[in-house]
Chains A and B, each alone.
Chain A
Amino acid sequence: MKKVTTDLTRENIANWKELVLKEYNFKANGSTIQCGHLHPLNKVKRQVGMIFQQMGFEEKPANANSYVESSFWNFDVLFQPQQHPARDAHDTFFLKNPSTAKTLHEHKEYLEKDKYYSVDRVFMNESVDRTHLAEFHQIEGVICGKGLSLGHLLGVLEEFFSRMGMSSKLRLKPAFNLYMEPNMEIFSYHEGFKKWVEVGNSGMFRPEMLRSMGFPEDVRAIAWGLSLDGPTMIRYGVNNIRDLFGHKVDLKLIEKNPICGIRLQGTDPDAYDLNFLVQTY
């Protein structure tokens, strides 16, 4: 006489020949796995870091890992005139304590070796909306050397985006930035939106700035700043930055998202971004 059972157990394993397993419902999900999770932004950040390292960039956190920055480095070195609007209280956090012309850093580049990157928090004193926060993550890179051209800038950026598995269709728009000449905004063609979207800013540092920092005549530096949050929102289909970053996050979002870095089967690179935009949580 065969026994019907739902499971193989310590008690019945010896008599396994006599057991009949009850039909399993393969239409239901399995049990929820109890496990820890890494934050999606940090998953993308790790991938960005790995790509830059593979491309020969060394990680150098901005301002030796200090969020508090002097006005000298935040503005003066970057050719920001005393009366420039960015120095106004509107954009920058000026500190009451410590008080001597300290700001929370916005942008800082390192020009000691030849190729550096950093992915770090920056601060902007502005109102918060669905795409803007007072804090965000910036991917910054700089290459310093002889014979560098805008071609190198385009080449590095295109390679980076292509390794990120994102559209590597890029174009540069002339722009104005005090410490950069030439200076250009970076636009990427978004296959999902079917339009060009701004993904960052870039250019070549002004020679006056490099000379004043002690670099020889023939040394040039190209640099860029890209958003980490933007690509992460696209990658994980998040429409509001506050759903991703900060205490208003829904923990389910952190718990249920795919890995970042390996292009999985069935994720064709162009359809890819769109796929995640239509995904809902």
Chain B
Amino acid sequence: MPTVSVGRDRLFEALGRTYTQEEFEELCFKFGIELDDVTTEKAIIRKEKHLEEDEVSGDDEIIYKIDVPANRYDLLCLEGLSQALRVFNGLEPIPEYKVAGIDEASMLKMHVKPETSQIRPYVVCAVLRGITFDEVRYNSFIDLQDRLHHNICRRRTLVAIGTHDLDSIEGPFTYEALPPREIKFVPLKQTREFAADELMEFYRSDQKLKKFLHIIENSPVFPVIYDRNRTVLSLPPIINGAHSAITLKTKNVFIECTATDLTKANVVLNTMVTMFSMYCKNKFEVEPVKVIYPDGKSHCYPDLSLYQMEVPLSYATSIVGVDLPGNEVASLLMKMQLHVEESASRDNVVVSVPPTRSDILHPCDVAEDVAIAYGYNAIPKRIPSSLSPFLLNQFGDLMRSEIAMAGFSEVLNWILCSHKENFTMLNRKDDKKTAVINGNPRSADFEVVRTSLMPGILKTAGHNKDHPKPIKIFEVGDVVLLDESRDVGARNQRQCAALYCGANSGFELIHGLVDRIMEVTGTAFEETPGDNTGYYIKASDEPEFLSGRQADIIYKGKKIGTFGIVHPEVLKNFDIPDPCSFVELNLESFL
């Protein structure tokens, strides 16, 4: 992203008000540029030369370094940037650039010689007449050329810009390509004459210019521009002649852009003349130059005509995602310097793209500007279709993985069981208020819908007596509990249970699993039981567990489960000869 340095105070003056840094950042954000750094010229010099504060003399003016999009060449200088923001803020209409109407005979001419096709075939020119420079404008004019050279001109390979004091030279001009030895002139910043081949050697040690030499140095002919008196204007893309150099006093500027890419040459010329025609006597007016090619074809530059683009209204608004009428789209585009013609059709807008907006290539670029002017952050949000996870199942699956990682193997038991497995075999009584009872079971195995995972897990342990000890198994699954508040009179509840069976009870290991479950659910141990910040364990008295080795798990003040050594009578009922510890808790409590 190119960065443009502009004086803060001059920018604010151009914008007709001052901003706090925050306000200006907000404006940049909306428009799509970014205040990258706030500095001073003094600080920049100090940083470059690694000097101490008092060693530097220089301006204390505050400089804003602003990042601009790489396709907006019209924002590469203070002039273009402030104008775009003025129009965006509604302070000013879109400027109308004009080519001065002068007759053919008095128009300046540039004759192109056929040899140029060997090295750099195109040239486009224009004149800024009656311009007023001051130091700041002059520096901006030079800086803009540098930035264009760096960006769109691809380090002068595609386009090179030469600017000249028109009053020091005399048309018609010729664009030629000659053997280097034959080109002799005093280049800019030098005092003696050089032949072009000698000059190339001379610049080999020039930090700035040496990187452009490769563009022409291997060519038998070098491009060169002369005036009618054989004064060398420039040796593109390397250097201008000293003779025609512009100064603060220059009134009339001749601009030539030589190129290998004609489209880019036009963009560059248009950018130069539109940005600086604001300082001309006739504001926004540019004097044309006729370029005549060897085949007799001629073209007048610059071409500042508006480019008409028809954009379906629905296309632009549907991209933005806001339904806007044509007149509103028109006034939004106006803020982005895109003029909209009165349109005969209600379904289309006809956009006039000014020469400053070479980035507008397709209706989608227009749609983008509608969106920027509307405000990206004012667009109502919509969510494309997406999938939502089923939270309980997702949580259950995560817990299953955690418990398996803790070394337990998963079992999957039936939801239906016999009445005695669910009650008497666990030393429990049926209070008739808990379990769903089947009316027509085909066998005793399906009498009751389980209210606990315990009978299934104990049955599994009983059937695996021959399995090497210890057995560590777990299940995550639903139990069904009577619930009068539900239309069907019952509800599912997702439980998690685990069993240890070995030579000893494994009570502490099951206790450790409870702690691990709390750890992975991010539940703290309550140092002061009852403060409801996490969980604690409290001695319990349930018939299925051995008295003295069983406890309730209290989570945020609520009992969510119990663990303990399984009562020897219960173990006997399930035909398990070895001691077991068991935990069961309600997983839904965590959600």
Contact with B along A90-130 (1 / 0, CB 8 A): 00011111111010100000000010000001010111100
Given A98-B482, A245-B412: A65 in contact with B392 (beta carbons within 8 A): yes
Q: Is B440 an interface residue (CB 8 A)?
A: yes
Complex alpha-carbon distance, A89 and B411, angstroms? 30
Q: Is A252 an interface residue (CB 8 A)?
A: yes
Segment among B145-153, B219-227, B266-274, B402-410 that sits at the interface with chain A = B402-410
Complex alpha-carbon distance, A36 and B472, angstroms? 8
**Judging by beta carbons under 8 Å apart, are B488 and A59 in contact?**
no
Segment among B9-17, B252-260, B338-346, B383-391 that sits at the interface with chain A = B383-391
**Judging by beta carbons under 8 Å apart, are A38 and B442 in contact?**
no
Segment among B72-80, B489-497, B577-585 that sits at the interface with chain A = B489-497
In the complex, chain A residues whose CB is within 8 Å of the CB of B462:
247
Q: Is B480 an interface residue (CB 8 A)?
A: yes
Complex alpha-carbon distance, A93 and B414, angstroms? 15
**Judging by beta carbons under 8 Å apart, are B440 and A254 in contact?**
no
Contact with B along A229-255 (1 / 0, CB 8 A): 000000000000000011111111011
Complex alpha-carbon distance, A104 and B490, angstroms? 11
- B497 CB → nearest A CB, Å: 13
Within 8 A of B (CB), among A226-281: 245-252, 254-255
Residue of B nearest to A101 (CB): B488
A134 touches which one: B407, B412, B446 (CB < 8 A)?
B446
Given A68-B490, A98-B436, A104-B449: A134 in contact with B416 (beta carbons within 8 A): yes
Segment among B52-60, B238-246, B393-401, B540-548 that sits at the interface with chain A = B393-401
Q: Is A69 an interface residue (CB 8 A)?
A: yes
Given A56-B387, A67-B480, A98-B488: A134 in contact with B438 (beta carbons within 8 A): no
Q: Is A164 an interface residue (CB 8 A)?
A: no
Residue of A nearest to B432 (CB): A97
**Judging by beta carbons under 8 Å apart, are A60 and B464 in contact?**
no
Q: With contacts defined as CB atoms under 8 Å apart, how many contacts are there between chain A and chain B in the complex?
A: 157
Main secondary structure of the interface of A (DSSP, over half): loop
Residue of B nearest to A92 (CB): B440
Q: Is A70 an interface residue (CB 8 A)?
A: yes
**Judging by beta carbons under 8 Å apart, are B446 and A34 in contact?**
no
**Judging by beta carbons under 8 Å apart, are B449 and A39 in contact?**
no
Contact with A along B427-459 (1 / 0, CB 8 A): 000001001111111110110010000001001
Contact with B along A132-149 (1 / 0, CB 8 A): 011100000000000000
Residue of B nearest to A248 (CB): B463
**Judging by beta carbons under 8 Å apart, are A53 and B387 in contact?**
yes
A67 touches which one: B387, B464, B478 (CB < 8 A)?
B478
**Judging by beta carbons under 8 Å apart, are A125 and B440 in contact?**
yes
Contact with A along B460-499 (1 / 0, CB 8 A): 1011100100011110001010100011111110000000
**Judging by beta carbons under 8 Å apart, are B439 and A94 in contact?**
yes
**Judging by beta carbons under 8 Å apart, are B410 and A67 in contact?**
no
**Judging by beta carbons under 8 Å apart, are A247 and B413 in contact?**
yes
In the complex, chain A residues whose CB is within 8 Å of the CB of B397:
46
Complex alpha-carbon distance, A69 and B436, angstroms? 12
- B36 CB → nearest A CB, Å: 42
**Judging by beta carbons under 8 Å apart, are A100 and B412 in contact?**
no
Q: Is A165 an interface residue (CB 8 A)?
A: no
**Judging by beta carbons under 8 Å apart, are B437 and A96 in contact?**
yes
- A109 CB → nearest B CB, Å: 16
Complex alpha-carbon distance, A37 and B412, angstroms? 12
In the complex, chain B residues whose CB is within 8 Å of the CB of A252:
467
Within 8 A of B (CB), among A160-211: none
**Judging by beta carbons under 8 Å apart, are B459 and A247 in contact?**
yes
Q: Is B107 an interface residue (CB 8 A)?
A: no
A36 touches which one: B407, B449, B490 (CB < 8 A)?
B407
**Judging by beta carbons under 8 Å apart, are A39 and B410 in contact?**
yes
Residue of A nearest to B403 (CB): A36
Q: Is B215 an interface residue (CB 8 A)?
A: no
Residue of B nearest to A37 (CB): B409
Q: Is A158 an interface residue (CB 8 A)?
A: no
B488 touches which one: A34, A39, A42, A102 (CB < 8 A)?
A102
A135 touches which one: B415, B442, B467, B471 (CB < 8 A)?
B415
**Judging by beta carbons under 8 Å apart, are B437 and A254 in contact?**
no
Number of interface residues of B (CB under 8 A): 58
**Judging by beta carbons under 8 Å apart, are A94 and B442 in contact?**
no
Complex alpha-carbon distance, A95 and B449, angstroms? 10
Q: Which of A94, A100, A102 counts the most B-chain CB atoms under 10 A from its CB?
A: A102
**Judging by beta carbons under 8 Å apart, are B445 and A134 in contact?**
yes
In the complex, chain A residues whose CB is within 8 Å of the CB of B410:
36-39, 42, 254
Contact with A along B85-116 (1 / 0, CB 8 A): 00000000000000000000000000000000
In the complex, chain A residues whose CB is within 8 Å of the CB of B409:
36-37, 251, 254-255
A247 touches which one: B443, B446, B463, B486 (CB < 8 A)?
B463
Complex alpha-carbon distance, A35 and B472, angstroms? 10
B482 touches which one: A97, A126, A245 (CB < 8 A)?
A97
Complex alpha-carbon distance, A250 and B461, angstroms? 10
Given A34-B407, A94-B440, A97-B436: A66 in contact with B492 (beta carbons within 8 A): yes
Residue of A nearest to B461 (CB): A247
B442 touches which one: A37, A60, A127, A255 (CB < 8 A)?
A127
Residue of B nearest to A36 (CB): B404
Q: Which of B412, B478, B489, B492 counts the most A-chain CB atoms under 10 A from its CB?
A: B412
Complex alpha-carbon distance, A248 and B474, angstroms? 15
Contact with A along B487-520 (1 / 0, CB 8 A): 1111110000000000000000000000000000
Given A42-B400, A66-B486, A95-B436: A133 in contact with B414 (beta carbons within 8 A): yes
- B453 CB → nearest A CB, Å: 11
Q: List 22 A-B contacts (CB under 8 A).
A: A35-B407, A36-B403, A36-B474, A38-B400, A38-B410, A42-B410, A42-B412, A57-B387, A58-B387, A66-B486, A68-B489, A68-B490, A89-B439, A93-B438, A104-B438, A114-B385, A121-B415, A128-B445, A247-B459, A250-B464, A251-B467, A254-B411
| Chain A interface (Cβ < 8 Å from any Cβ of B) | 34-39, 41-42, 46, 53, 56-61, 65-70, 89, 93-100, 102, 104, 114, 121, 123, 125-128, 133-135, 245-252, 254-255
With A65-B392, A97-B437, A102-B489 given, can you name 16 additional A-B contacts, CB distance below 8 Å?
Answer: A37-B410, A41-B412, A42-B400, A61-B392, A66-B488, A67-B415, A68-B480, A93-B438, A95-B438, A96-B439, A125-B446, A245-B412, A247-B413, A248-B463, A249-B411, A251-B473
6 closest Cβ pairs, A-B complex: A98-B489, A36-B404, A247-B459, A96-B439, A39-B410, A37-B409
